[in-house]
Structure 1
Amino acid sequence: MEASKVIHAIYTDDDVLMNAVKKVKAERHHIEEIYTPFPVHGLDKAMGLEPTRIAIAAFMYGCVGLTVAIVMMNFIMIEDWPQNIGGKPSFSYIENMPAFVPIMFELTVFFAAHLMVITFYLRSRMWPFKKAENPDPRTTDDHFLMEIAVNGNENELSELLKETGAVEINLIDKEH
């Protein structure tokens, strides 16, 4: 395995982290990853990450759920076993559709929510029994860690990170 060096800069405040990210990006250094104990609003834009496409996936998953609901209710309530419930005729799906709206809504939300979670976990490569990739356990409590690739500029980068308010700076050999 090939090992490369990275610097782990640890911060104790999210506002200091945001300012540090902006300064590091302004100096044209590549930030590999940032580990935070909670979502930091605006961090994705500060890092220059592309917008997520999960909303598009959610819409498509919702459409799948709506389609499943319509086909399921048409088959069950109209074709397979039509019943006279409350005096409502079961001649066609369209006549009964107002009664089916809650089911259509619920299955749309059900499919969108569950399939989005599955998609998120697969895209993030988080599956059951996977070993955590967190480099410092303090980032699950109250610290923020910025991981920056080093290309022979350790001293310059360390000085920049000290200026940005890092409370701890470590040079790490990272294996791929």
Structure 2
Amino acid sequence: MSNKVIHAIYNDDDVLMDAVKQTRAAHHHIEEVYTPFPVHGLDKAMGLAPTRIAIASFLYGLVGLSVATTMMRFIMIVDWPQDIGGKPSFSYIDNMPAFVPIMFEMTVFFAAHLMVITFYMRSKLWPFKKAENPDVRTTDDHFLMEVGVHGNEDDMVSFFKSTGAVEVKVIEKH
């Protein structure tokens, strides 16, 4: 069985957005869209599900807050209590106002770093990974929409040319 895809190349993001909407309306399956910069609203136009990274970020922030609280309690109350500026370190609650900046910073630190790690793992962006970009022009100034071929190939090519594509190629995908 042949696994063919159409690469429709556009040189304007507004034309690309209209083409994505027309392609979805024509019930063609968009495999991927390659862009040189983020295009606002493209995910909704493609029909992609909303991301859950905000939930992950909140959970990572809670982990950071827990680590900060545990660390400060152990260091300042249990392991090495000190009388700093007349404030005895007998309980965590009494000294919590002084610990708020540390709790905030650790929350942000954990959320940010774990979100980046999650993003790279989810996107499968490993160190030294070979680029999967099908056309080098999409890193500069062109946009590429990859659509699976089903039905009449010639009709699909003419459809994409009518959407404003500057170039349409049929590729055999491995």
- TM-score normalised to the size of structure 1? 0.97
Residue 115 of structure 2 is matched in structure 1 by: 116
Number of residue pairs the alignment of both structures matches: 174
Aligned to 1:51: 50
Aligned to 2:69: 70
Q: How does 1:15-30 map to 2 (within 5 A)?
A: 15-30=14-29
How far 1:89 sits from its partner (Å)?
1.4
Distance 2:42 2:70 in 1: 43
| Seq. identity, % | 75
Backbone CA RMSD of aligned residues: 0.9
Q: Which amino acid aligns with 1:25?
A: R
| Structure 2: runs of 5+ lacking an equivalent | none
Cα distance change of structure 1 residues 79 and 144 upon mapping to structure 2, 3 Å threshold: same
Q: Which amino acid aligns with 1:127?
A: W
Shift of 1:165: 0.5
2:105 aligns with: 106
| Structure 1: unaligned runs, 5 residues or longer | none
Runs of 4+ residues deviating >2 angstroms: none
Deviations 1:112-170 (A, max 9, x none): 00000100100111110111100011111110000000024211111111111000111
Displacement of 1:39 in angstroms is: 0.6
Shift of the 118–3 alpha-carbon distance from structure 1 to 2, 3 Å rule, reads farther
Matched with 1:37 is 36
Q: Distance in 2 between matches of 1:88 and 1:136?
A: 64
Residue identity in the other structure for 2:55: I
CA distance in 2, matches of 1:3, 1:60: 44
- The alpha carbon displacement at 1:3 in A equals 5.3
Please name the residue that 2:171 is paired with. 172
Matches of 1:99 and 1:58, distance apart in 2: 25
Q: Name the SS for the 2:100 alignment partner.
A: helix
Q: Secondary structure at the match of 1:6?
A: strand
